[in-house]
Amino acid sequence: MGQEHDFVQKFVLIWIILLALIIGIFIFIYQYYRRKIIYEREKAITNEQHTQELLNTKLEIQQQTMQDMGREIHDNVGQRLTLASIYAHQLAFENKSSPAYERMANVGTIIDESLKELRALSKSLANANAEIGELKDLIINECTRVNALKICHVSWNFVGTDFCMSTTIKNFILRIIQEFLQNSLKHSNCKNILLNFQYADSGLLILVKDDGKGFLLDSKKDVKKDGIGLQNMKKRAELIGAEFSLNSVVNKGTELNLFIPSNKLNFT
């Protein structure tokens, strides 16, 4: 009877030890995975902070480069075009009776128009820091500048309450819009361009479209093969975590859709 009791005690003790060992293993595994999750989370935060620092550095360099280019255009190229314009108009004035007068006058007009566009570009580049105003004001100023060229008409629409967003986001959105506008002006022969901004709790949705001639966009090809302008827009969208899509139909125009989630709007 005593041996049987001892056997039971040993059997129970063994099970207690095994149970404690199993519980210990589970606790160890739980702590291991918990520490691993914490490590991965901290690593992700560190990587995101590093990415943000690189993005801000890249943006500062880009802004400084644009400002330098703007000043160089204004101080060097602008002055030479101004001088060429004066000479052209003077030459046309001195040869009013000449058969070539009309052609001389046309040359002067072309130079004046080029100078006007160059000055607008210089001002846009030199004023590269979007911290000076709200995104809505920056977009309206850009549209007004394009309308002043009288190449096509740009209209805009803002729906919802304006978000408070970082300088980085404003700069990148502005550059994407400028890239689209420049491409439309240069290549689409459009008459109208529409910009629509819709603010919602989920984020900012931007639609930009023109009624130009459009182009073939092969979805199987990478965007970079279709032109540096499209590549720049897509790259900027990726850097700020925005959803980007570009659609174009021949003879029906081109449409850009950009969505920035609300949690990305203060990316600094």
Structure tokens, 194: 């529409």
Three-state DSSP class for residue 193: strand
By the 8 A CB rule, do 124 and 142 touch?
yes
- Residue 183 or 45, more confident: 183
**Nearby residues of 201 by Cβ (< 8 Å), 6 or more positions away:** 262
Assigned CATH topology for domain 134-268: Heat Shock Protein 90 (3.30.565)
- Residue 158 or 132, more confident: 158
**Nearby residues of 223 by Cβ (< 8 Å), 6 or more positions away:** 230, 231, 234, 246
The pLDDT, as a whole number, for residue 76 is: 67
Read off the pLDDT band of 130 (50, 70, 90).
Answer: very low
What confidence tens digit (pLDDT) does each residue in 238-247 have?
888 899 999 9
Q: What are phi and psi of 134, to 5 degrees?
A: -75, 155
The pLDDT, as a whole number, for residue 267 is: 55
**Does residue 232 register a pLDDT over 60?**
yes
**Does residue 207 register a pLDDT over 50?**
yes
What confidence tens digit (pLDDT) does each residue in 16-72 have?
888 888 888 888 888 888 888 888 888 887 777 777 667 666 666 666 676 666 666
Q: How much is the mean pLDDT over the chain?
A: 79
Beta-bridge partners for 259 = 205, 243
Euclidean distance between CA atoms 253 and 8, whole angstroms: 87
Tokens 């001195």 -> residue:
94
What confidence tens digit (pLDDT) does each residue in 77-86 have?
666 777 777 7
In sequence order, which ranges of the chain are alpha helices (DSSP H)?
2-72, 78-94, 101-126, 135-148, 167-183, 228-239
The pLDDT, as a whole number, for residue 223 is: 43
The pLDDT, as a whole number, for residue 74 is: 62
* Count of beta carbons in the 10 Å neighbourhood of residue 1: 5
Three-state DSSP class for residue 254: strand
Q: Which helix (H) or strand (E) holds 206?
A: strand 203-210
**Does residue 225 register a pLDDT over 80?**
no
Domain boundaries, the chain: 1-128, 134-268
Read off the pLDDT band of 205 (50, 70, 90).
Answer: very high
Euclidean distance between CA atoms 19 and 12, whole angstroms: 10
What would the mean pLDDT of 116-142 be, rounded to a whole number? 71
pTM of the model: 0.58
